[in-house]
Amino acid sequence: MMVKPKLLSLLPFLVATARASSAQGREEFASALPQEELQSLCRRHPTWNNSDGTIDHERCKDALGFELFEKDFLSNNPPEFRGGRKAPWFQNMENCMTEKSKNRPREFQSETTPAEPTVSALYPDKHSPTLAVVDFALSDEEAATFQDLRDCVKHNHPRQFVRRSFAGPGDDFEQEGGNDATFVGGFVQLFAPGVAAKLCETARVAWKKSEWFKIEDGDVPFQFDPCKMGMRTTEYLSYDPSGWSALGGHTDIGTMYTILLLLSDPSEYKGGEFFMKPWDWGGGEQHLKLVFKPKRLQALVFLSDLEYHGVQRITEGTRRALAVEIWPYANPPLGVNRPQTFEFEHYLDTGSWEGTQS
């Protein structure tokens, strides 16, 4: 096909005009969507992006009222994560997530709005619960997106993966145990914001149903809304008989609420039950304990600085889980993995992480 010189000179203008017109059309369409329909679209696309461009980060953030984006994850982080959204590392992560989404089995790509998180049980009793069981904590699509995120983080940023021992000096290494952890805090808010928003809502429904906002315990402000606090850490955890097979009892010092969400079906592993020794029963010093083996995508939300908890030995298969710790500080910058409270306070005072990492 021959193109006349005059028309050829106009091609860049025509293409740019067409693209601008298309983008404007998408924006007008998105702004015209009823609020409920926009919320539904955002919930069905955990990355807050879809192929036709009718949703994006800002629209979904406003539609869902998600508040955890006030922190700029792209500032004051370790050198390898600097450069913002145009940096090669950021583009590599976006490309990885896009490719994995394309290859995802069709059955995970739901055309219906995911069910909302719902509390189905409270423990150790309904009058003063310290643990809530939450159904529908994530949808299949959201869980698949989180798995994609973990794989992309581990591939592009291998330092985010650790084989973590919980044994301290003088402790029994075998008894204390540990886990394989991939730290995805910050990454989940940036590249899978719909998952972060759903986890926030999971903690919030537990907080409301358990009426933790009514608890007053000295300097520990349990009444804080978890969605107005920071995600201290978000981790992908795995246990299996050939590596870390158990996790000794402990409390999450400095954390207010912990979300533990199972990504494995109970039939995929033997053993590996979550246990908790309620404070009211005597805490870690007594033998009585509650034992849970949650369903896949069911979450346990509990007061983890108060309650002694751990994972019993797994004898077969692999137990995969997602854990989020929520604390009364802001979200740490990207690449800062589960900071201690003194580290974060040093950072707030100096603006630097140097000399504080434990």
* pLDDT attached to residue 9: 44
**CA 330 remoteness from chain centre:** 15
**CA 24 remoteness from chain centre:** 33
The CA distance from 316 to 132, in Å, is 27
Could you tell me which residues come within 8 angstroms of residue 5 by beta carbon, excluding any fewer than 6 positions away? none
**CA 205 remoteness from chain centre:** 16
Structure tokens at 178: 């540990």
* pLDDT attached to residue 217: 60
Asked if residue 192 lies in contact with residue 152, where contact means CB atoms within 8 angstroms, the answer is no
* pLDDT attached to residue 165: 79
Asked if residue 61 lies in contact with residue 193, where contact means CB atoms within 8 angstroms, the answer is yes
* pLDDT attached to residue 349: 86
The rounded average pLDDT for each run of 10 residues, N- to C-terminus, in the chain (358 residues) is: 42 41 45 77 86 80 69 67 84 94 68 86 91 96 96 96 74 66 94 94 96 71 81 95 86 95 97 91 82 97 93 94 94 89 88 62
What three-state secondary structure class fits 185? coil
Helix (H) or strand (E) holding 91: helix 88-102
pTM for the full predicted model = 0.84
The CA distance from 134 to 173, in Å, is 33
Identify the DSSP state of 49: -
Structure tokens at 338: 């589960």
The CA distance from 323 to 304, in Å, is 12
Q: Which residues pair with 177 in a beta bridge?
A: 247
* pLDDT attached to residue 163: 87
CATH of 79-350, one of 2.60.120.620, 2.60.40.10, 3.40.50.300, 3.10.20.30: 2.60.120.620
The CA distance from 63 to 46, in Å, is 14
* pLDDT attached to residue 325: 97
Q: Taking the domains of the chain in order of start, what are their residue ranges?
A: 10-64, 79-350
DSSP codes of every residue in 187-212 = HHHHH-HHHHHHHHHHHHHHHHHHTG
171: left (phi over 0), alpha (psi -120 to 50) or beta: beta
* pLDDT attached to residue 352: 77
* pLDDT attached to residue 45: 87
